[in-house]
Every structure is written in structure tokens, then in C-alpha cells.
A and B are shown apart, each in its own frame.
Chain A
């Protein structure tokens, strides 16, 4: 994690209400200010993740998202605006976040995560938020985060359902333990309400804040499964896959 950074009086004024949170306080806020997070895509889930992390005062956000805004993005992509249709999503997102919190440094990268850029993007930050709509990107991020020893929070949704887990390389299952191959049945376009995407985005942002500030109990070795049709929230135990091609060798020395 990054080094703690002292707060200014202006920052204390913005964060005053969360400084009252038990177990967080000024020390936790300084940790957030010293931290950096990559948000892979700022759509329905990642946009809300980025918004919450900016509001919470994470010092530097790197947003990676390629492409221009379309009308059918607007039911869930809350950092965008109707008059921005046809213009780059990531620029709109960065602008909104800077308006929300000028004390946060926001880097806009107009690319999705690819094999070519993933090592650089992950290398720039302390923690990775996995919010892309394709397993290929999520598994790519996972492999690089594990290789670089960076925590990763995976936030996903479908229809009225969502799931969330936090990967600490060498300590918890990684995404490749869960999905050793790209699930063939997943479709690029899927049913979605913005409120579902936003729910898992907020939950994912809270996971990142907890990991960065050392607060509470992140979802380590647990998968949160949410069904918003009947508001069922379940925490189920997940396990490392013996011989996992991505994390199988990571942490063995520590555990021996």
C-alpha cells in the first residue's frame, strides 16, 4: 500500500463525517489519501465504484474505459450525462469525479484492459477494481494482480443478481480458482437495472476502502451472492483451486 499522507484542513472538512467512523479516523483517511486504485471500466458498476472511492478520498484513481457513450448506457452509467452521447465515456467520468472531489487525482485512460497495457495499468496502483463486462478482461486483470501481489475486488452482476469477492494473492482464491477457463455462455450484453449495478458498485467500493484502510473484515475466501428479487444476501465460502494456473504457486513459501 502507499504511504500515509497528511490531510489538509480543507480535506478534513470534506471527510468530516467519515472521520467519525469507529476504527477509521484520521489514520484511515490518511491511508486512503496515500492509496491508488485502478477501476477497470467506469460503466454501471465501475462508475459507481469510482464515484464512491472519489467521494471517500482515495488519493489517486486510474480509470480505464474505451469508447463513446451511447443512449442505452444511461440507465446505469451514472457518471455520464445525456448531452455526452457520442463522446468518450472515460473523459466524462473523470470530469464528474474531479467536480465531486478536487482533492483526488484522476487519470483517464481511454483504453480497456488488454494484454498490452495490463501490466502497466496494474503497476500504477495499490488495488484493482474488476468491473468489466467480459471475463477475458477480468481474468487478465486477475492474473496480473496476482503476479504483482496486488489486491483485487471483483464486482459482477446479472439481471437482479450480483456477486462480490476480494482477492488477496496467496491468501485467498483468485478468479482463476473460480473460473479456470473463460465461461463460454457469458454474453457481452446482459439484462441490467442501474440500481443493481450501483448496489454492487457501492459494496465493492466499501471492500476497497476496508482493504486500503485496514478496516473491518473484507470478503476474503468468501463470495457475497445477492439476489435483489427477494433481497437475499448470502456469504458462501470459496476455496483455492489446487494447482491453479494463476495463483497455485503464490503464497506457498509463506504457508510452508
Chain B
């Protein structure tokens, strides 16, 4: 299946692109997708996305479509889903 991933703010900078499409064999949960994109782009994206235990940071904002999903939630993605990954911002 194909998942579209959009990156915003610091995540976009660390990933080096604003969006990409990932082809995933079989099923894929949201935490697994986050780990895959971290592996794909390496540091410093990994530091932005993953905690010491290798799971998504608790303060990472993840959206499937227009709905927030907590990073630790074992939500199964489906073909055509659009996942947005947004690092927190506090610019004032």
C-alpha cells in the first residue's frame, strides 16, 4: 500500500523534503511508519521523531488525514492515508 507523508516545520528541514510517498508491504501501524521514516532519513530526523525507547516522542504531533492520532497509538494505516508529521513550534 502507499502512504503519503507530509513533513512540517523542523521535521521538514530535517527530512530535507516537504512530502514523500512510501510504499509499504503488508500492514503498517502509525508508530512503525514513524520509525520507518526516521530510518530512511537518519539523524537529525531520528532525534526529532523518536524517544530513547525508539518510539515516537510524546510531544510529536501526528495527523492521519485531518485527525490527530497519538504517536504511541497502534493505529493501522491503510492504502491512501495521508500522514502529517509536525514538530512542536513555539516561535513568538
| Chain A residues close to B by CB (< 8 Å) | 41, 43-46, 131-135, 138, 155-159, 161-163, 178-183, 185-186, 190, 192, 197, 223, 225, 227, 229, 234-239, 241
Contact = CB atoms under 8 A, between A and B. Distances in A.
Nearest to B57: A183
Interface in B51-68: 57-59, 61, 63, 66-68
Interface string B61-86: 10100111010000000000000101
A195 to B, nearest CB: 13
How many B residues are at the interface, by size bracket?
A: 20 to 34
Interface of B: 8-10, 13, 18, 47-48, 57-59, 61, 63, 66-68, 70, 84, 86-92
B54 to A, nearest CB: 16
Contacts of B87: 183, 185
A236 B47 contact: no
B47 A161 contact: no
User: Which of B13, B48, B87, B89 has the largest number of chain A CB atoms within 10 A?
Assistant: B89
B92 A158 contact: no
A135 B13 contact: no
Contacts of A138: 90
B10 A158 contact: yes
Given A185-B10, A225-B8, A238-B68, A131 B92 contact: yes
